[in-house]
Chains A and B, each alone.
Chain A
Amino acid sequence: MSELKEQLKAQIIEQLNLEDLSPADIKDDTLLFGDELGLDSIDALEFIVLLESNYGIKIADPSEGREIFQSVNSLAAYIEKNQ
């Protein structure tokens, strides 16, 4: 699971163009859509693309994303459950 989380952090940085950050800057429980990272609704959509392209998981309703994308922890848990 921790390997998946590190992989996710790197993918998030690349997918969302967070060029000032390194994986070490994102903690497992950092609120991804909190104030720290300044992500917005387009970034939420890019998460959906990330899940589909990298893990083959399709999310049809963007509002489902809120819970799934809360943190790296919740994202990793969702992937493990749905792959």
Chain B
Amino acid sequence: MKVVATSYISVKGAFLNEKKIQHADDTNWLKSLYQALEIDYPKFYKMDTLSKMAFLASEIMKNEIAAVQTSDQDMQLLFANSAASQQTDLKYLDSYANGGTPSPSLFVYTLPNIVTGELAIRNKWYGENTFFITEKFDEDFFKEQLQFAFSRGNKSCLCAWVDTPTDGIEECFLFLVSEGENKPGNLELLNRLNNYRNE
């Protein structure tokens, strides 16, 4: 298997294949990225931080994804993080904690797999999608899941570590992996992620 493309979204900006393609403003960094990247998808504003980051990461990788995709069912989404939807959980809790009315639009995002759902809706991807919770980014875990996917006949997988940890940075590391020779190999995922983090 081989990594076809990677992208990274954080307060530092938007990166594609290890090159910075857009700087983010200090305030409203996600909105600034969305506007600077000139994407026209007003539903973006309704999304929570997890979905916004994953959305932007996949939008800037559109060409690379289109190049490997062979059908609307073969793009499997394999996402994971450590904090699930905790950030939005708290915002939703706050919406009614002091006698307010619970917000339905916030409640929708109290499930981390809405992230994969949003990407599927945007791109009309009908393939498999899962969201795992692991303590931290685990390269072996992803490689194992990828092996399963390719053994089943998938040709490509879109994977992401998209996280809003309370004690860390908000980030989305998106990587597109294609079957190649289906030998595990060294995908150097953690190295790539650390390179982005150290930019």
Query: Which residues of A approach B to under 8 Å, CB–CB?
Result: 16-20, 38, 42-43, 45-46, 49, 52-53
Q: Mark B32-56, 1 if CB is under 8 A from A, else 0.
A: 0000000000110110000000000
How many positions in chain B have a CB within 8 Å of any CB in the partner chain?
12
Rounded to whole Å, the gap between the CB of A71 and the closest CB of chain B is 19
Extra A-B contacts (13), CB below 8 Å, given A18-B45, A53-B101: A17-B45, A17-B105, A38-B42, A42-B46, A42-B104, A42-B105, A42-B108, A43-B105, A45-B104, A46-B104, A49-B101, A49-B102, A53-B100
CA distance A53 to B100 in the complex (A): 7
Residues in A with CB closer than 8 Å to B42 are 18, 20, 38
Which residues on A sit within 8 Å (CB–CB) of B108?
Answer: 42
> Cβ of A46 and Cβ of B43 under 8 Å apart?
no
User: How far, in Å, is A76 (CB) from chain B's closest CB?
Assistant: 20
Chain B 95-120, CB within 8 Å of chain A: the 1/0 string? 00000111111001000000000000
Which residues does B use to contact A, with CB under 8 Å?
A: 31, 42-43, 45-46, 100-105, 108
Q: Please, could you name 20 A-B residue pairs with CB atoms under 8 Å apart, sorted by A? A: A16-B46, A17-B45, A17-B46, A17-B105, A18-B45, A19-B45, A20-B42, A20-B45, A38-B42, A38-B43, A42-B46, A43-B105, A46-B103, A46-B104, A46-B105, A49-B101, A49-B102, A49-B103, A53-B100, A53-B101
Cα–Cα, bound, A49→B106 (Å)? 12
Query: Within the complex, what minimum Cβ distance (angstroms) separates B193 from chain A?
Result: 30
Chain A residues within 8 Å of B103, by CB: 46, 49
Chain A residues contacting B101 (CB-CB under 8 Å) are 49, 52-53
CA distance A69 to B169 in the complex (A): 40
